[in-house]
Amino acid sequence: MDRLSLRNLCCLFCCPPWPGKIISKLAFLPPEPTYTLRCDGSGSRWTLDLSDGAGWQHSPREKEALECFLTKTSKGNRMACMFVRCSPEAKYTLLFSHGNAADLGQMSSFYVGLASRIKCNIFSYDYSGYGASSGKPTEKNLYADIEAAWVALKTRYGIRPENVIIYGQSLGTVPSVDLAARHESAAVILHAPLTSGVRLAFPKIKKTYWFDAFPNIDKISTITSPVLIIHGTDDEVIDFSHGLPLFERCQKPVEPLWVEGAEHNNVELYRQYYERLKQFVSEELLDL
């Protein structure tokens, strides 16, 4: 059924201000920050201090190898960034937009492990209002945040678009799809993606309404880079049914990874997750 029911319309419109803003507000769950950034006297070098909540799993030496800094977005927000260098010879860098209810501190151990296993550098950032980033989390700020990260990759590190893999996880697929629709890159990886905000709240809706937030379903067909979609079949947060229509609308889809039995937050615990990423990065992209 394409039309919203009367009950659904009431749920959306009877709560000011606007439905899209309501969905957007409900979507953001920034955790208590699990890290701080300390600047040295020169104002150019930042030190990462992790709290116990970050759950760091590696050695102090590996933590020292994480390069962190602050940059500004077009919206004027201060944004925390993290660069995880696997090796100077790594061909690709993942521009990683993490999921909801997480920040760079919580993700840092995962980034180090992922970079080592798939032999890629990782560049990540915290959304406005998350971690050490200032401002408020909104849909518009999401797009400004990832654009600032894209610019930092080019200007600070000299990384060319053809060496960037745009990786979005869960909520992070929203800025990732938007960026990939505007900039060509080596590839795009969408991990547990959603089709749109309204469709997430009302799964039977097939049409994109003017007030819908996060309309990945309408943007994905304009992406000209190869797209790999990863989704757990038992995802309890973003149903597996979201991944399928996105895959079908890709211009250049590659073989997706449907992880049988995986839920929203444990796909990374399955062996095939790393196997598929390694195959994609080290073999398939070289032939595309």
Sign of CA dihedral 235, 261, 107, 143: negative
Residue 195 CB contacts under 8 Å (≥ 6 apart), including other chains = 216, 217, 242, 245, 246
Catalytic option among 103, 178, 212, 235: 235
d(CA 30, CA 19): 21
Residue 235 among the catalytic residues: yes
Residue 2 among the catalytic residues: no
d(CA 155, CA 254): 30
Catalytic option among 170, 176, 196, 225: 170
Q: Are 128 and 77 in contact (CB under 8 A)?
A: yes
Residue 170 among the catalytic residues: yes
Q: Which residues are catalytic?
A: 170, 235, 264
